[in-house]
Amino acid sequence: MTAGPDRLDQAVHQLQAALADLQPGATRSVPTVAQYLPQIEAAAGPAARRTYGSYWKHMAHAWGERRLDDIRATDVEALRRHAAANAVPRRNGRSGRYAGVHLITAARALFTRAIADGYITPDASPAHRISKPRRLPSTRRALTPGELAAINTIARTTGHDPALDALLLRLHTETACRRGGALALRATDVDPDRGLVLLHEKGGTMRWQPVTLELAAHLLHHARTRGATKPQDQLLRHRDGRPLTGRRYDQLWARIGRHLPWVTAQCISTHWLRHTTLTWVERHYGYATARAYAGHTDTTGPATTTYIKADLTEVATALAALTGQPHPLAVHAPHTGAPR
């Protein structure tokens, strides 16, 4: 049966409408920023939501009723300057510079997802047309032995839970791990016989890190006495059994800063312990061992970094020298004169 002209016209019209919906920037298919941001937040990981969530809220407030394909590079630049000008004042805030950087990164995440979903073309992202401000050199440095000793003394002699604070500082000094790696530790992640802990760090990375047998024993004792009864339970806990959060670190350094004003003045934090340990390892055992000690797996930089690798035994050897304690995986005697 042959279709009539009216049916043919109707079919052509429907086909044209369907094709129009597939075109990037089509009015009927492109959502507004306010409509699309909940999808972005749902697809983002916890770290991204924590870092960029407030900036996505700024975008929803400024551009909420506008379609994704209606945002221009000038809009992103204006919002970047607004975020920088209204950043919460901090001692290390660099006049809101990094608030502006985070705003651009958050906007790029938004429009990268919009490209992947087919709402805009790859060359239409306004956020990628704005250059990020150049990162300034970090003010962090390695602590001197005297500074490190003073910090540990205050942690052990003040506060309502000095045993926990001393354990935290020892863990970060030995492993050079980040806060997230320490907070993610579980009872099952400690190997007391071989002196290892399994660190779960940013980017979903996992790595075995040597620790002294003494620290491994203290970690397991801490877990047993504070309610981490199951293998998958978070290891680090308060006296009442509550799992630790990042707030404990904030309180610890605030208290240390009250006793040691230079800690507050220089914005010293847990990450400075990472700098301290890795600087010592690099000076005594070279770049390859320091890179392995830090858990760096990126491939950026000179091509020779592909071949500059150190294994677990070399990291364990550096740890033995750093702490002055033997380690089951160390391959030779540690350097003499190493800090204790």
Over the stretch 14-60, which tens digit does the pLDDT of each residue have?
A: 555 445 555 544 444 899 999 999 999 998 888 788 888 999 999 99
- The pLDDT assigned to 26 comes to 46
Instruction: For residue range 160-198, list pLDDT tens digits in order.
Output: 999 999 999 999 999 999 999 999 999 999 999 999 999
Instruction: Please tell me whether the overall predicted TM-score, pTM, comes out greater than 0.95 for this model.
Output: no
- The pLDDT assigned to 284 comes to 95
- The chain-wide mean pLDDT, for the chain, equals 86
Domains of the chain are: 24-129 (1.10.150.130), 145-323 (1.10.443.10)
Three-state secondary structure along the chain? CCCCHHHHHHHHHHHHHHHHHHCCCCCCCCCEHHHHHHHHHHHCCHHHHHHHHHHHHHHHHHHCCCEHHHCCHHHHHHHHHHHHHCCCCCCCCHHHHHHHHHHHHHHHHHHHHHHHCCCCCHHHCCHHHCCCCCCCCCCCCCCCHHHHHHHHHHHHHCCCCHHHHHHHHHHHHHHCCCHHHHHCCEHHHEECCCCEEEEEEHHHEEEEEECCHHHHHHHHHHHHHCCCCCCCCECCECCCCCECCHHHHHHHHHHHHHHCHHHHHCCCCHHHHHHHHHHHHHHHHHHHHHHHHHCCCCCCCCHHHHCCCCCHHHHHHHHHHHHCCCCCCCCCCCCCCCCC
Instruction: For residue range 108-152, list pLDDT tens digits in order.
Output: 999 999 999 999 998 999 999 988 777 666 778 999 999 999 999
Q: Is it the case that residue 232 has pLDDT exceeding 50?
A: yes
Instruction: For residue range 253-264, list pLDDT tens digits in order.
Output: 999 999 999 999
Which band of pLDDT confidence, cut at 50, 70 and 90, is reported for residue 229? confident
Instruction: For residue range 201-221, list pLDDT tens digits in order.
Output: 877 789 999 999 999 999 999
